Chain A
């Protein structure tokens, strides 16, 4: 059973470009979480999604950031018009929901904004 997959593992963007980060949850998992870890800081929750629904986006910046988890395909975290402060490691986690609450994390995408 493959774990949570994220791609790309490393992404370099210039200021003003768009960044798209993908997350494929573990098989059978319908809940996806995105976290951000700024350099030398702890992980911060961004958004929680179920298939086709955003459940909690309280940690998402108000502008430029969006997330989706379509019926088919991976979850996407999209950052428009990136700035240097967006440089961070972005981790996706998934869980089966219902009685299971452990979250299983992917390897992360390291975004560098030049």
Chain B
């Protein structure tokens, strides 16, 4: 799986949009970008994933550049409960039975939402 690079920490004011960048310059054509977060002491939580197109769900938006070498996770209106470590993960998303794969977590970005 391709390596990802994220800033170690970021701050964001409550109510403002949080934009978390991720570089994945060696990403392959069949690799997806996944985002998870881990709120202190809890299990990681899936946020969103995408391949080429921008994606949006009830939690966040994912913007992937045209060359797919970087992406940005956007939390449109950050709240204090969004304070967490955010992990950007690149991996093959296989659809054949028995070939689902492990997640490789890096250091992530510690997002602190300030009141």
Contacts and interface: CB of A to CB of B under 8 A. Distances in A.
Interface residues on A, range: 20 to 34
Main secondary structure of the interface of B (DSSP, over half): loop
Main secondary structure of the interface of A (DSSP, over half): strand
B68 interface: no
Q: In the complex, which of the residues B43, B95, B96, B103 has the most CB atoms of chain A within 10 Å of its own CB atom?
A: B43
A105 B102 contact: no
B103 A99 contact: no
A91 interface: yes
B75 interface: no
Contact of B94 (A59, A101, A105, A107): A101
Contacts of A69: none
B107 interface: yes
A108 interface: yes
B101 interface: yes
A32 to B, nearest CB: 10
Contact of B100 (A31, A42, A45): A31
5 contacts: A44-B105, A45-B103, A97-B100, A102-B49, A107-B43
Question: Which 6 A/B pairs are nearest by Cβ-Cβ distance?
Answer: A105-B43, A45-B102, A43-B105, A101-B93, A102-B46, A42-B105
